[in-house]
Amino acid sequence: MKETIMIVDDEREIADLLEVYLLNDGYQVYKFYNGTDFQNQLKTVIPDLLLLDVMLPDADGFQLCQKLREKYLFPIIMLTAKVRDEDVIMGLTLGADDYITKPFKSMEVLARVRTQLRRYTQYNAVDSISGESPQEYSIRGLVINNKTHKCSLFDKNIALTPIEFNILWYLCEHRGMVVSSEELFESVWGEKFLDNNNTVMTHIGRLREKLQEPARKPRYIKTVWGVGYQIE
């Protein structure tokens, strides 16, 4: 069955070009030039992945991303001409899974799309063999459930992206152990870790914000300097 990808970008040439790339790669594609048409379509069709422009004529891409994260887990890749670090961090903080700056190459987009879809499929796969490992962890008011893919803090639901969920789940599975950034990255992203890669640190920062972690004395995700991260 073809995976469904939605494109929301008011730059018609870019949206049309992305559509061609994705159709040629075998995906089912829905294309929109504004946020309103996209949200109307979302009432009947849920995509497997969304390519979302930051600047739309009738919506703010960042705000739309944040709104979507309250209900949906599908990967969101932001598209934008903005290249400032603070814009990238804002998009990731509000729930985006990846960020591509314009202009971009077709092979780069396709590679990012394939990677995000692979992660999403892995994170949401249901384990057919029961009893092999716990499906829920409860740690001092923090509850994370692998079957329902939900996380709560003192009975209040926390909206996590698939990557954030998998990082937290991996740390819970290895509770009491120190997990290096390299191990986390290669386990969650499934790619080779590079020494200058700050991706794990950025996502840990987002997780801490959502868990309302005190900056100096985090209750859950602790940093073991020079080694990695740990949930005690």
Question: What pLDDT digit, counting tens, does each position of 166-220 carry?
Answer: 999 999 988 888 899 899 988 888 888 876 668 888 999 999 999 988 877 888 8
Q: What is the pLDDT of residues 99-138, one digit of tens each?
A: 888 888 888 889 889 888 887 766 555 443 344 567 888 8
E-strand spans in the chain? Answer: 4-8, 28-32, 49-53, 76-80, 98-101, 136-139, 142-145, 150-153, 156-158, 221-224, 228-231
Q: Measured between alpha carbons, how far is 214 from 200 in angstroms, rounded to an integer?
A: 19
- CA 205-211-216 angle, to 5 degrees, is 60
Q: How many degrees, rounded to 5, is the angle at CA 129 between CA 126 and CA 134?
A: 80
Closest by Cα among 190, 218, 185 to 203? 185
Q: For 2-35, what is each residue's pLDDT tens digit? A: 899 999 999 999 999 999 999 999 999 999 999 9
**217: Cβ contacts below 8 Å, ≥ 6 apart:** none
Q: How far apart are alpha carbons 66 and 82 in whole angstroms?
A: 18
What pTM did the predictor assign?
0.59
